[in-house]
Each structure stands twice: as structure tokens, then as C-alpha cells.
Chains A and B, each alone.
Chain A
Amino acid sequence: MTIRTWLTLWNASMLLVALLATGALAYYELVIEARPQAQGAQPAGKSAKEPAPADIIEIAMFCSIIPAVALALAGGWWVMRRTLAPVTALTQAAEQMNEHNLGTPLPRTGSGDELDRLTEVFNAMTARLNSAFARLREFTLHASHELKTPLTVMHAELENWLRDDRLATEQRQRVESQLDEIQRLAKIVDSLTLLTRADAGQVVLGREAVRLDDLLREALADAESLSQPAGVTATLEACDEVTILGDRHRLRQLLLNLCDNAVKYNQPGGKVTLELHRADARAELRISNTGRGIPPEVLPKVFDPFFRGDASHSQAVEGCGLGLSIARWIVTAHGGTIRIASEPGGLTSAIVGLPVPVDADRQKTS
């Protein structure tokens, strides 16, 4: 039984008891006490035809038991609402909390009662959580910054080695392979920095009118050049004219990222299809591939940083495992949604929904 029902019933029964007690007292006073008086004052025959006032009161009182119960229940419910109102407010405020607004304290009533105290304690707890999150972000930012200096030095050192003509072929290959790894590391550090800064709300996105269909056509050219060596064909199936407000560079990054994935996780002879539909205030972008698909139990994890899916398959796939996390950030920063739908052995699609402002078409396209 919830506190809500319990409180309602408790309050209702208290009210009912009070009502019944008052009723019983009144019954005693008005009916029992009044009867001998009435019998003494009036002849017995008359009372059979005309009911005595005491009898009317008696009937009225018995009839009012049901309304009294209803009244008690209603009253009980109302008192419960009043009592639990601060708790409800607290619950609603706490429900809105996520890792980005931990710093905003829940509103306090200021009455100093137990619930106000609970809110205070709750606020202190989220403040501690918030500073823990902030420290973690700071740490990652500092770490990635500090990593870049030695990476720069290592890169330069190896580069200087490569200039040395006396270097034997075998040594040269080793140096080159190390350079590749340093660049890979640099890429991971870059992506981590971006994600951390985005998480901390430090990345400011542009907000200009962008023709999404133009960007998609451009992305098709890139998808074609990426897919050709992999034996995959890329096609643009639908391309409605859509203008949204957003960051041109980041949206291009998003499209390239999704196309790149669609090619990487495809198989020879496969297809990549690009679609852009507009429905009222929403643009739906769909980039699909005919790869081996993603098992349903894995789907919720694909946007997690460093998630690479099927280990045996990911060996063959280049990349740092942060692409989809970045894609998700770009989409949510634009107020949109992204999900992956996959039928094993069928189509695997990245589906992006982006809000289309009503007046975006009228703004200057740049």
C-alpha cells in the first residue's frame, strides 16, 4: 500500500470517527433525550399519524451516514494532498535532474519542517555529486592537455629521424609505424578533449541557417569515395529540401561520421543509402548499411565511448571508438535525437531527427 492510500484512509477514518461521534452525541441529545418529553406532552394516537420531530431527525441522521463516509474520504484525500504536496514537488524537481544540472538546487519551502530539512540534505548531496563530476571533467581536460605536449615532442623526434638518409629500411618502417600510432593516440586525445569539453558545456556551437540537403549531397560525394575501395556502393535515395539552424562544421562532421561507419561496418558488395525527409517541424535523416547488423542486446551501448561491438569484427575496423559518442553529442546539441535500428542480416540504420524551425527557410542561407 502506498503512503498516499494509507494516508488517505487514515485521515478518512479519523474524520469518520469524528463525524460519527458528533452524530452519536447529537442523536443522543436530540432523539433519545427528546422522546420522553414528546411522549409526555402529546397523546399517543396523534404521534402515529404525524411523525414527531425527533423521529425525523433520527431518519435524517441514519440517512446521512453514507454522505458522511463520502465526506470523510474526500476530506481525507484533501488532507493527504496537503501533507504530501512538498514531497510531490520534491519528486518532480528531482526527476528533472541529470548530470548537467546537478548544480541547480531543489526549491525549498523555507518552513524549517522535516521536508524542508530533507530538501536541504538532498541539495547538499547533489552539490557534492556535482563537484565530483566537475573534478572528473577537469581531470580529463588536464590529462588530455598534458598528453599533447609529449606527443608533439615524440612526433617531432621521430620525424627528424625519418629525415636521416642513413636510416636502414627496416628501421625506417619501425619509425613510420610508431608515427602512425602517435597520430592515432593524438586523435583519441583530441576526441576525448572534445567530448569532455562538450560535456562541460564549453563547446559553443554556431547557429546559422544550414541547408541540410546540400550538406547531405556533399556527404554523398565523400561516402562514394570512401565506399569505392571497400567494394560498397553509396546512393542518395531521398533528399527533401531542409534548412535548419545549426553549426555547419559539426553537422558535416556528423554526416561524414555516420557515412564512414556505414562503409566501415559494411561487407563487400554492400550498399549505403542516404535519405533525408522533412515532416513539418522535423527533419529525418537516415543512413543505412547492409552490414552484418547489430545484435539487439548490444544496441543500447553503441553510443558509449570506446564501445567497439563484436570484438572479432572490430579488429578489422579502424577508428578510435568515439565516433558515435561525438555523433550523439552533435545531434543532442542541436536539439535532436539519434538512434540505431538494426535487423540482424538486414538493414542497419542510423536515424537522426532534427528540429526544423518554422522560419528557418526565410532566413539567409549561408
Chain B
Amino acid sequence: MRVLVVEDEKKTAAFVRKALQAEGFAVDVCHNGDEAWAGALTTPFDAIVLDIMLPGRDGLSLLRQLRQHSIATPVLLLSARGEVNERVDGLNAGADDYLPKPFVLAELVARVRALGRRGGESKPAVLQVADLRLDTLTRRAERRGVLIELTAREYRLLEFLMRSAGQICGRMAILEKVWDYSFDPGSNLVDVNVMRLREKIDADFEPKLLHTVRGLGYVIKEPS
């Protein structure tokens, strides 16, 4: 998978490049909008990570131009402003996802991976991590055959974590996908709900599946 990173801030660009390369992606970096425009026209990228504030052509106009030229490469917008309006503007301009700065690197990687997958594999109806099963059709969760009672919110949380099994899910991503908050409402809502979910799926069972990655987020994974 080949990714174009458009970010004028050199250090941030270097970190993003390193993190994406560590995932096995081929990464090209541009530091301004015009360079990126030339690159995107000539090279078929699988995903573009695009900062909004750029010298020369800014991210949003670049994005509009790409879409006008029927270049449908999935785009993840980055912005230091992180406001709802901007998110809506970005999605309207044709972005596929949006991440406010400062972001968790692991989350950026997860989102780029998701962009590359988009439209590819279909979502499985039954999710399984070790002996934890979640049937998304009947909305039933069970571990080792024992039915686990979940509230609506806990169900959505578990589904999101299990769909990204093995990947760290940042608080922001959880707030967005499970609570439909596109900004941090300033509460430890995610933490208390993960805690409650952990009590239900992990307290009476071994091995533990739901882990906290302090400073970064949460992950459901099989013990290696």
C-alpha cells in the first residue's frame, strides 16, 4: 500500500512517515500543496494523509481539486484546529476521514489502514477474539458459551473494539464511533464505560482480553 503524506511541519511529517513505514506501507512525503498536487496527479496512491494548513495551496482546496479531477483516492484530513465546522467542511470537500491535532500516532495508522481497506473486504457478522464471540445480527455477546448482558452503549463499544481487534483504539476514535462525538466533550465517559465492559467480559474469565494502553487508548487482543 502506497501512502502520500502532505504535511508542512517537518518533524510531524517525519513521525508520520516512520509510523506508517513501520506498518509496511510505502510512504511519500510532500511539504506543500503544489508539490502534493503534482504527485497525486502522476502517482496512484492508495491513501493520502493531508494537513489542512499548508503553504501555497491549502489542504481543502487541494482536496476539492483532486475530487474535481475525479481522483477518488481516500483522504484523511489532519487539522490543528479540530473544530466541528472544519470537520464538516472537510467531509463536504470530499475527505473520507478527519483527525484533529494533536493525534495519537497509533490512531492515525489505524485510520490510514482502514482507508486502504475501504470498500474492500466485507464486514463479518460474527466477531471473535479468543473465546469471546459477538454476533452483530442478534447483538449477543458470549464468552465460553456464557451470555454477557450488555447495554446498548457497551454493545457498540465492544463491537468497535472487536472490529479493530489487535489495534489500539484512541479515546477520540471511540468517542467518535461509539458516542458520535466529533470533539472531546471533556469527560472520562470512555474510561468508565471501558471499565464496566471489562468487568463484564474479563472479570470472570482468563485470559484477559481488554487492555489499557496508557496514554494511547484501549485494545482488545488475544494474548500472544
Contact = CB atoms under 8 A, between A and B. Distances in A.
Contacts of B103: 152, 155
Interface in A140-190: 145, 148-149, 151-160, 162, 175-176, 178-180, 182-183, 186-187, 190
**Dominant SS among interface residues on chain A:** helix
Contacts of B151: 221
B195 interface: yes
B146 to A, nearest CB: 22
B102 A229 contact: no
A175 B214 CA distance: 10
A81 interface: no
Nearest to A319: B186
B82 A190 contact: yes
Interface residues of B, number: 40
Interface stretch (A55-63, A113-121, A253-261, A338-346): A253-261
Interface in B99-121: 100-106
A203 B104 CA distance: 25
B188 interface: yes
Contacts of B216: 159, 162, 179
B183 interface: yes
B24 interface: no
A226 B196 contact: no
B184 to A, nearest CB: 6
A194 B182 CA distance: 13
A228 B154 CA distance: 15
Contacts of A155: 102-105
Contact of B83 (A162, A203, A222): A203
Interface residues of A, number: 48
B85 A204 contact: yes
A145 B80 CA distance: 6
Interface string B151-170: 11100000000000000000
Contacts of A162: 213, 215-216
Given A152-B101, A190-B183, A318-B188, A225 B215 contact: no
A175 B184 CA distance: 23
Closest 3 CB pairs of A and B: A179-B215, A152-B102, A156-B15
Interface of A: 145, 148-149, 151-160, 162, 175-176, 178-180, 182-183, 186-187, 190-191, 193-194, 197, 203-204, 221-222, 225-226, 228-229, 249, 252-253, 256-257, 260, 318-320, 322-323, 326
Interface of B: 9, 11-12, 15-16, 18-19, 80-85, 100-106, 151-153, 181-189, 192-193, 195-196, 213-216
